[in-house]
Amino acid sequence: MLKQRPYLVEILTAVGLIVAPFILPHLGFAPTTINRILIWGLLGIGFDLLFGYTGLLSFGQSAFFGTGGMFAAYLLTQTSFHNTILAVIFGAIVAGAVGYVVGLIALRRTGIYFAMITVAIAEVFFFVEFNPLAAYTGGENGMPGVPTPNLDLGFTTIDFGSALSVNLGFTTLHIGSNWSMYIFFAFWYFIGLILAFRIVRSPVGL
């Protein structure tokens, strides 16, 4: 069925992300809970791409995930860089570069040996974050003061940390500050899903 309708998953996901804010609150879900689901779901997409399609069991996904987040947070809190969208993109690039280097080492082995190498690498990242680099990463306290994301369109700036109002022509849609953050996370989750399927359907994925 999915082969006959190759974009069915993307369409259903897009519809689900759009209607979720109107349904899930009535089921007791808070916006912050849904946002965390999307964050961990993005991590799950990467894990499924590696283990589900290649059979490589990696325990180091969290190391790359955290590296990208820490790099973006460092840019936004410890430097004069204030573009949150570019910070996220740069964080993803750094995470990809680290993952590539780790892959060059780990892929020399397969099976249980590959899995054990990724466990060791994840532990090294954990140790480095909480000890030698604690002054830069914040250690167990993390990095406080990370600004809410915003998008500068030139003629206006969309602040995802505040309430938004969208003029639909026939009515104006008011979005609370918590749900405006959901839009940000849902966008990146959908982009991650698109990229994953793009890889799977490419000659590399086949």
Cβ atoms of 50 and 85 within 8 Å: the answer is no
Angle (CA) 77 83 89, round 5°: 95
User: What pLDDT is recorded for position 90?
Assistant: 93
Give which of 58, 64, 72, 47 is closest to 119, Cα–Cα: 58
Alpha carbon 159 to its chain's center: 19
Q: How would you write the pLDDT of the chain (206 residues) with one tens digit per residue? A: 455 566 788 889 899 998 888 888 888 888 888 989 999 999 999 888 888 888 888 888 888 888 888 899 888 888 888 888 889 899 999 998 988 888 888 888 878 888 888 889 888 888 888 888 877 777 777 777 888 887 777 666 677 777 666 665 666 556 666 778 888 899 999 999 998 888 888 776 55
- 151 SS3 class: strand
Cβ atoms of 39 and 66 within 8 Å: the answer is no
User: What pLDDT is recorded for position 167?
Assistant: 62
User: What pLDDT is recorded for position 1?
Assistant: 47
User: What pLDDT is recorded for position 78?
Assistant: 83
User: What pLDDT is recorded for position 181?
Assistant: 85
Q: How many CA atoms lie within 13 A of 67 on its CB side?
A: 22
Cβ atoms of 166 and 175 within 8 Å: the answer is yes
- How many of the other CB atoms lie within 10 Å of CB of 73? 20
User: What pLDDT is recorded for position 80?
Assistant: 83
DSSP H helices, the chain, are 8-23, 31-47, 53-54, 61-78, 84-106, 111-130, 134-137, 177-201
pTM of the model: 0.79
From residue 129, alpha-carbon distances to 18, 31, 64, 99, 126 in Å are: 37, 29, 12, 16, 5
